[in-house]
């Protein structure tokens, strides 16, 4: 089991869209590093769902329900070469009772090496299991 984090702008496609549809095709990734991460996702992997830009925070968890296949929104080839872009399919697994803010993540020394902080522009990245556990624990706390 592997853990990941995907970013999305909630105004364009947020958690509410995701849960309303019950499924998402994670398309439109056009960065090689992000693409390689998508391609490495396996069925059942857990994916932190992160809202960027306004109120940056992890808001829930999705499960990989289909492994990488060619991105239908990408051209089949460019400059005579097949295009490398791919998508995965995700389903909502867990809605956080409390969003885990970027500020909270930054304030925790254990999470200081997360790609989210180190490589702020990458949109699909791996997460270590202990990092995932910590964020899940925060996210599933009951409100007081």
Partner DNA sequence: GCCAACGTTGGC
Residues in contact with DNA by the rule CB under 7 A: 7, 9, 30-33, 52-53, 56, 102-103, 106, 116, 119-123
Contact at 8 Å (CB) between 1 and 45? Answer: yes
Smallest gap from residue 143 Cβ to DNA (A): 23
- Cβ nearer to DNA, comparing 30 with 66: 30
Smallest gap from residue 28 Cβ to DNA (A): 8
> Could you give the CA distance from residue 23 to residue 47 in angstroms, rounded to a whole number?
13
- Cβ nearer to DNA, comparing 56 with 93: 56
| Residue given tokens 């624990």 in the structure block | 137
- Cβ nearer to DNA, comparing 120 with 129: 120
Contact at 8 Å (CB) between 25 and 62? Answer: no
Smallest gap from residue 55 Cβ to DNA (A): 9
Smallest gap from residue 14 Cβ to DNA (A): 13
């Amino acid at each position: 089991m592997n853990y990941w984090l995907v970013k999305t702008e909630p105004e364009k496609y947020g958690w509410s869209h995701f849960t309303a549809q019950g499924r998402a095709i994670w398309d439109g990734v056009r960065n090689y590093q992000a693409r390689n991460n998508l391609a490495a996702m396996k069925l059942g992997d857990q994916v932190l769902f992160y809202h960027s830009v306004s109120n940056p925070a992890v808001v829930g968890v999705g499960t990989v329900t289909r492994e990488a296949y060619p991105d239908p929104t990408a051209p089949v080839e460019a400059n005579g070469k097949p295009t490398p872009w791919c998508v995965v399919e995700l389903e909502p697994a867990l809605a956080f009772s409390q969003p885990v803010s970027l500020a909270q993540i930054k304030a925790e020394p254990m999470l200081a090496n997360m790609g989210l902080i180190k490589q702020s522009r990458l949109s699909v990245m791996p997460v270590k299991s202990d990092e995932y556990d910590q964020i899940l624990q925060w996210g599933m706390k009951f409100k007081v």
